[in-house]
């Protein structure tokens, strides 16, 4: 066999092997069925979940990772499970933690993370169309200032941490702790 033919054959074999390895690695990184991780361009969502609720209001939580060198802002969210959805934050007011709408959105820094969690920033689901029960999946669309959207499925979980209440107080403000 001519030496140049052998070199070409070896190069082709190595390239084919690399393609197979890349395909196997890509398959390991993906999953079939419902995923707990989603992506919108450079922003990925990890472990989206929603607190169970019989009616009224509840909240959804997720970790947003931005792998790009450009910051973005979560500006809104929507879901068929609720008549109204807002981005909320917890703030100290008159010595008590209270919940309020976060009108400027939730920043997702370049090469950084935004954590939406109980007791902090979260997605408020109001006017629930039906009870949210353990194990159900709630489809939520996240919209960013860049114009990108991210579809997530939040798994419903029971959660009592901090005795948080997502119900309005008699005065009409939303108290975050009961």
- In this predicted model, what pLDDT tens digit does every residue of 72-127 receive, in sequence order? 999 999 999 999 999 999 999 999 989 999 999 999 999 999 999 999 999 999 99
DSSP string, the chain: --HHHHHHHHHHHHHHHHHHHHHHHHHHH--SSS-SEEEETTEEEEEEEEE-BSSSEEEEEEEEEE-SSS-EEEEEEE-TTEEEEEEEEEEEETTEEEEEE-TT-EEE-TT-EEEE-TTSSEEEEEEESS-B-TT-EEEEEEEETTS-EEEEEEEEE---GGGB--SB-TTSSEESB-
| pLDDT > 80? residue 36 | no
Q: Please compute the mean of the pLDDT values over residues 1-10 and round it to a whole number.
A: 47
Query: What CATH number belongs to 37-175?
Result: 2.60.40.1890
Per-residue model confidence (pLDDT) at position 11: 41
For residue 164, what are the CA distances in angstroms to 48, 108, 144? Answer: 18, 25, 27
Residues of the chain with pLDDT > 90: what percent?
63
pLDDT digits (tens, 9 = 90+) for 62-79: 999 999 999 999 999 999
What is the band of 161 on the pLDDT scale with cuts at 50, 70, 90? low
In whole angstroms, what is the distance from residue 156 CA to residue 134 CA?
A: 5
């Amino acid at each position: 066999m001519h030496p140049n033919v052998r070199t070409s054959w070896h190069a082709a074999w190595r390239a084919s092997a690399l393609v197979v390895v890349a395909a196997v690695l890509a398959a390991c990184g993906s999953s079939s069925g419902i995923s707990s991780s989603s992506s919108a361009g450079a922003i990925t969502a990890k472990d989206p979940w929603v607190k169970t609720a019989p009616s009224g209001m509840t909240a959804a939580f997720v970790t947003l990772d931005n792998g790009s060198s450009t910051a973005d802002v979560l500006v809104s969210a929507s879901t068929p499970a609720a008549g109204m959805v807002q981005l909320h934050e917890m703030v100290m007011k008159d010595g008590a933690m209270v919940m309020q709408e976060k009108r400027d959105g939730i920043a997702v820094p370049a090469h950084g993370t935004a954590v939406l969690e109980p007791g902090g920033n979260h997605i408020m689901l109001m006017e629930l169309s039906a009870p949210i029960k353990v194990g159900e999946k709630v489809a939520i669309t996240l919209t960013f200032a860049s114009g990108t959207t991210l579809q997530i499925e939040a798994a419903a979980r029971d959660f009592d941490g901090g005795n948080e209440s997502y119900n309005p107080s008699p005065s009409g403000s939303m108290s975050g702790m009961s």
